[in-house]
Chain A
Amino acid sequence: MKKKSSLWVFSLLLFFVLALVGCTKDEEAGTEKKDDSTTDTTATDTASATSVMDTVLSRGKLVAGINDALPGFGYVGTDGKNAGFDIDFAKAIAAGVLGDAEAVEYRPLSAQERFTAVQTGEVDVLVRNTTWTTNRDSEVGLNFAPVTFYDGQGIMVPADSGINSLEDLEGTRIGVETGTTTELNLADQMRARGINFEAVVFDSADAVVAAYEAGSIDAWTTDKSGLVSRQSIMADPSAHKILAETISKEPLAPAVKGGDDKWFDAVTWIVFATIQAEEFGITSENVDDFLDDENPDIKRLLGTEGNLGEQLGLPADFGYQVIKQVGNYGEIYDRHLGPDTVFKLERGLNALYTNGGLLYAAPFR
């Protein structure tokens, strides 16, 4: 009997050892990954004391949190490369900081995990159609660079429905995408105006559009840029119209972790550089002609005079690199959302202040 029980204990011990091996197997896999990125690790540790800027420089690569499933703003092209409006701003930041627009590692993030990823330093910058709000700026602990896209929530209805304003939506069925602020905004606006409606919630934008086109809902709502882009690919775009009212403000801006002014300033001024370049009429095509321009403002932007780059901790020619490799704001916009794309989105609020829009870069001096 005694022998048997000791064997039993032995086999259990064996089981424990096996169980431990079984568990450590996963951890080992994890540590292997860790070893892989030891250089990053040490860099991040020092970064908590200094700046993300140093991490990016020592890594030689920018890690950008993106959305790669949003038409026009981020998607995967047929060549397997990421492309889109937001992606171009990630490229601009890489061009400005590292001098190479392709030195970006894209990290696709879902709406839920995007803030954690910034807080933990998993991504250096979040360029993922994120609305700048009070809560995100303060409690969530982000810092927002200048707005790259002014959006607003709108409503699409069939052109022959006789609906011309929010008030006409009384008693209709309106489709929204679940888990977004659009759902909340719609409810807020309609309650404020005392309009009764039925919100029909869908899982994805594709599903909302399918239901709308099939006629099972009377109207659908999302950001106006989304409405326009969807309208352009509907079977008969002229059969639909977008109500003039904008029911919420959605300023979309790149964001970085709060409390790191050096990195925040760098990102801010790189975004400003794209806007300022458009104001000066400098494009990726003609930027070389401007290198010997006499205008001191242009000289400072391109880094041929003054030491603005040095003050920001960026290369002296960061403005030049951003414009040369990625382009000015207008070029980025036209490339992904402008008249030559399927979206044909009007500049609207996203025009320069000189053209009646809201884009206004602080002066480079």
Chain B
Amino acid sequence: MEEISFETNKEPDILLPPKTQSKALRWMKENLFSGWFNALLTIVSALVTGYILFHSIQFIFTEDWSVIAVNFRLLMIGQFPVEEVWRIWTAFGLLTVLLGLSWGLWKGSMAHVAVSILAIMVVMLVMPFIQMNTRLILGGNIVLLFLTFFIGTKLPKLKVPVLLVWLLFIPVTIFILNGFGVFEPVSSNIWGGFLLTMLIASVSIIVSFPIGLLLALGRRSTLPVVKYFCVIYIEFIRGIPLITVLFIGQLMIPLFLGNGIEISNVMRAMIGMTLFSAAYLAENIRGGLQSIPKGQYEAAQSLGLSKAHMMTFVILPQALKAVIPACVGQFISIFKDTSLVAIVGLTDLLGMGQKLVANPEFLGKQMEVFLFIGFIYFIFCFLMAHVSRRLEVKLGVGER
């Protein structure tokens, strides 16, 4: 939108009065000092902003950040055994290959994701406290990203296989991390740090989407059993807070299951988060479904499409496109809500931070640790929001 309005503004350029003042000065006069009240407001808010900025920057540059440097590995992967770290690198390498290929194949919004991940890798590479071998692996990953990018641009046939691997990526990652008999098993109880945050978030986002879609369709079904099952499920889940769902997962499920059966608490948290976000997604998608004018249904029917075809080819593409912003908002909030698992005893990024500041060496360093954690959350949420905006532009959301 911005680009368009900018271009329309360009045309009447000739009509503007001759520039007597520099652009910046004029802009300031018009926007900041147009009257005594606005001038006062500008000065006061500039002072307040300056004060806050000064102290924040002073804090950032004078604080001792060694707590982050020393514990960086713990914050990233928790207590995952050092000798098994290659598994995480393998999963990460696979992600890099996928990203590179998708970047080459689709360009567009994929490029933004790939470039952002690349930027994060480069920033990590130059951090002074990163170990040498980690640097080498990161460097290798960057090379790999570019390599697969070129492969992707040259081989457009790879689109379908790459999509398939994307679908399998999370199960494969969990398989590699857990081992499941093939490798030495690493219990999911010791998965932690940012790794756990990412795993819980991606599993709940990916699994909850199809469930949410089915619930949304089910809620609009004419069959009473299906309809009321969906309505009751959605309204029940939406009626209780997420933390309650997590507590039910951690406290009630073991009691119900009794002694024999053991589901790891990481798995319980994933199931809880998935069921929770599915209900919210269902409502988002239902909103999209209802926004499609009746004419679309009638047009599809008059073409002789079956209900399934009508949904897949006519209704859902439009409905889902319409709710991208709402869904991404939901995804971002799932990502942030994963930090709640720290309350039920899991060691996600936040949980790891709490454990680090209990180390007598770092007592009283909670400010640094939590600021850093907040910063990581910000980067990733911002990234998600940014990609979704690109996606909206590309798909033309809001334009008909």
Binding site for B on A (CB under 8 A): 4, 7-8, 11-12, 14-16, 18-19, 22, 25-26, 29-30, 32-34, 36-37, 40-41, 44-45, 47-48, 68-72, 74-78, 80-82, 105, 107-110, 112-113, 116-117, 119-122, 206, 209, 229-230, 233, 336, 341-343
Contacts and interface: CB of A to CB of B under 8 A. Distances in A.
Interface in B33-78: 70-71, 73-74, 78
B308 A14 contact: yes
B358 A70 contact: yes
B221 interface: yes
B2 interface: no
B306 interface: yes
B360 A75 contact: yes
Interface in B210-246: 210-211, 214, 217-218, 221, 223, 226
Interface stretch (B114-122, B262-270, B372-380): B262-270
9 contacts: A12-B221, A22-B214, A29-B270, A30-B267, A36-B181, A44-B262, A71-B360, A110-B345, A120-B259
Nearest to B345: A110
Nearest to A75: B358
Contacts of A342: 360-361, 363
Contacts of B258: 120
Contacts of B343: 110
B74 A18 contact: no
B358 A74 contact: yes
A22 B210 contact: yes
B364 A117 contact: no
Contact of B264 (A8, A26, A33): A33
Contacts of A343: 360
A41 B344 contact: no
Mostly, the B contact residues are: helix
A230 B364 CA distance: 8
B271 interface: yes
B180 interface: yes
Contacts of A48: 259
A289 to B, nearest CB: 32
Contact of A15 (B78, B226, B264): B226
Interface stretch (B183-191, B288-296, B323-331): B183-191
Contact of B260 (A33, A41, A105, A113): A41
Contact of A116 (B181, B254, B357): B254
Interface stretch (B7-15, B154-162, B347-355): B347-355
A36 B181 CA distance: 8
B262 A34 contact: yes
A337 B221 CA distance: 64
Interface of B: 70-71, 73-74, 78-80, 82, 178, 180-181, 185, 187-189, 207, 210-211, 214, 217-218, 221, 223, 226, 247, 250-251, 254-255, 258-264, 267, 270-271, 274, 306-308, 343-347, 351-352, 354-361, 363-364, 366
Sort A-B residue pairs by CB-CB distance and give the 10 closest, nearest first. A75-B358, A76-B355, A120-B254, A69-B358, A110-B345, A11-B308, A75-B359, A233-B363, A69-B354, A206-B366
Contacts of B180: 32, 36
Contact of B251 (A32, A33, A71, A112): A112
B345 A109 contact: yes
Most chain B beta carbons < 10 A, residue from A11, A48, A74? A11
A107 B189 CA distance: 7
Most chain A beta carbons < 10 A, residue from B181, B211, B260, B351? B260
Given A22-B214, A40-B262, A105-B187, A77 B363 contact: no
A173 B73 CA distance: 41
Nearest to B73: A80
Contact of A77 (B217, B251, B271, B359): B359
Contact of A29 (B211, B267, B356, B357): B267
A229 B223 CA distance: 64
Nearest to A73: B358
A120 B79 CA distance: 25
Given A12-B226, A78-B74, A108 B260 contact: no
Given A19-B214, A30-B263, A4 B306 contact: yes
Contacts of B358: 68-71, 74-76
Contacts of A15: 214, 217-218, 221, 226
Nearest to A42: B260
A120 B254 CA distance: 7
Most chain B beta carbons < 10 A, residue from A25, A78, A209? A78
Contact of B211 (A16, A22, A71, A117): A22
Given A69-B355, A76-B356, A41 B308 contact: no
B262 A7 contact: no
A117 B267 contact: no
Given A76-B352, A343-B360, A116 B210 contact: no
Contacts of B364: 209, 233
Nearest to A121: B259
Nearest to B252: A116
Most chain A beta carbons < 10 A, residue from B70, B270, B343, B360? B360
A69 B187 CA distance: 21
A340 to B, nearest CB: 11
B214 to A, nearest CB: 5
A44 B260 CA distance: 6
Contacts of B260: 41, 44-45
Most chain B beta carbons < 10 A, residue from A19, A81, A105? A19
Contacts of B214: 15, 18-19, 22
Nearest to A206: B366
Contacts of B262: 33-34, 37, 40-41, 44, 122
A113 B211 CA distance: 29
Contacts of A82: 79
Contacts of B181: 36
A336 B178 CA distance: 33
Nearest to A342: B360
B339 to A, nearest CB: 14
A230 B358 CA distance: 11
Nearest to B217: A15
Nearest to B355: A76
Nearest to A81: B79
